[in-house]
Amino acid sequence: MKIRVILVICAILLPSGCATSQGSGERSGASLDFALIGDMPYDARQEKEFANLMKDIDSADLAFVVHDGDLWWDGQAWTEEGGGLPPCSDETFKDRLALAQASKHPFIYAPGDNEWVDCHRAKPRAYDPFERLAKLRQMFFQGDESLGQHRMKLERQSESSRYAAYRENARWTYADVMFITLHIIGSNNNLGRTPQMDAEYEERDAANIAWMREAFDLATRKGSRAVMIVAQADPYFQTTWTPNWQERYALWALAMKPPASRRRTGYDSFLAALEKETLAFGKPVVYVHGDTHIFRIDKPLVDSRSQRIIENFTRVATFGHPDTHWIRATIDRADPNVFRFRQEIVRANVAAH
């Protein structure tokens, strides 16, 4: 009888079901797995493969899905031969939102550069990036919940009047882990194209760093076991390395200049703040990104003083076009590293060689 009463109360209090996570904790007895994806779907082929991927993800026992940005082709790279919906169009906005909303699990999304910054060069029609950014925020970041068939409550930076524009920067807690999304994007984080874009970058960069610092402070006060940051951009950790570090990665060394002679990037202040917060936190910190479309897990954040890796920091880069697969992340309560990561190859999307 008591069980029936509890079920009735759940049905009344939570119309979307008692299985929905409310952001401040997790479902009782729930799986501690979640999915990481990004840089998809791009062309017509990948739009079909994305359906296979989401079918795979929907059938898995997961708490939520996180997409780290770039929902369509870079504006310049799209071609009619590749097919698929054209970048930045209203039709494509609607299609990608529908894909996110169709997810069985709560779907959290961090925006990428393809969604708005690169729209000035989109084919077959160019768009004003600021207008596309406004549309992106209006369509994808309404209310205080995630996307998806089942919703998860999120805290948004826009709850502060000082950062009212930044609805896309979100935060939630699951299994004593602090998760945050940041609006850090490719194309040099929108720095260096026009004075107007530079001004936008400066304001957003300050908002991102403030949101990250607040999350670390909150995680410290709450005793969180770890922090996971999700953003679209690969911030090119190697730009902060000394020549000795760069020489260890010969291919990068050919393209990079020593820090003393290189130009400013759109990620410098973020990387400096990330180093400081990670060292002070002292527990596992994971930065998840897309942008470069190369699946990898490594430790690229180097202490600027000791020139040694920061052991409690890990980078996870998701699969991306042309590969349509996902990463299963697991929170292990018994593991001092907190996280485990497993590549999930979608068999229906394996290319014929």
What confidence tens digit (pLDDT) does each residue in 73-84 have? Answer: 998 888 888 888
Residue 63, SS3?
coil
First-to-last C-alpha distance (Å) of the chain: 59
Give mean pLDDT, residues 159-186: 97
- Asked whether the predicted pLDDT for residue 343 surpasses 80, the reply is yes
- Asked whether the predicted pLDDT for residue 141 surpasses 50, the reply is yes
pTM, whole model, 2 decimals? 0.88
Highest-scoring range by mean pLDDT, 26-30, 74-78, 212-216 = 212-216
Phi then psi dihedrals of residue 66, to 5 deg: -120, 125
- Residue 82's pLDDT is what? 82
Instruction: Name the CA radius of gyration of the chain, rounded.
Output: 20
With a pLDDT cut of 90, the percent of the chain lying above it is 78
What DSSP letter does each residue of 94-126 carry, written as one string? HHHHHHHHT-SS-EEE---GGGTGGGGG-SSS-
Residue 55, SS3?
helix
The sheet that has 170-174: what strands, in order across it?
A: 155-156, 170-174, 177-181, 226-230, 285-289, 313-317, 296-298
Nearest to 331 by CA among 299, 277, 265, 284: 284
Q: Specify burial of residue 118 (Cβ count, 10 A radius: 0-12, 13-18, 19+).
A: buried
- Residue 7's pLDDT is what? 38
Give mean pLDDT, residues 278-287: 98
Q: What is the pLDDT of residues 230-262, one digit of tens each?
A: 999 998 877 666 666 666 665 554 455 555 556
- Asked whether the predicted pLDDT for residue 202 surpasses 60, the reply is yes
Give mean pLDDT, residues 303-326: 96
- Asked whether the predicted pLDDT for residue 33 surpasses 50, the reply is yes
Residue positions counted in the chain:
353
E-strand stretches of 151-210: 155-156, 170-174, 177-181
- Residue 237's pLDDT is what? 72
